[in-house]
Amino acid sequence: MDIKRVKDYIYWLYYQYLLITCSYVLEPWEQSMFHTIIVTVFAMVVYTAYVFVPIHVRLAFEFFSQIFGGQPESTV
């Protein structure tokens, strides 16, 4: 791909983000605060998913394996 096309595509995605969030009407200091909050919330969601989703998947797998006749852990 051409570098200019990639750059234009990234600018277009950022413009779409500004339009969807309506943050293009904010003042610069308000935009920086808004972006900081969005990035913080996104980082917390990713961290929570990274930490807790594997635990819940393992517990669900153990639960359903016991229900559907899996071997108990004491015999394995």
Q: What is the pLDDT of residues 4-62, one digit of tens each?
A: 999 999 999 999 999 999 998 999 999 999 999 999 999 999 999 999 999 999 999 99
Q: Specify the pLDDT at position 20.
A: 94
Q: Specify the pLDDT at position 31.
A: 94
SS3 call for 69: coil
- Give long-range contacts, CB 8 A cutoff, 24+ apart: 47-51: none
State the Cα–Cα distance between residues 55 and 10, nearest whole angstrom.
36
- What are the structure tokens assigned to 5, written together? 């096309």
Angle subtended at Cα 17 by Cα 32 and Cα 3, rounded to the nearest 5 degrees: 100
Reported as a pLDDT band with limits 50, 70 and 90, residue 2 is confident
Please state the domain extents for the chain.
Answer: 1-67
Q: Is the pTM of this model over 0.75?
A: no
State the Cα–Cα distance between residues 76 and 69, nearest whole angstrom.
13
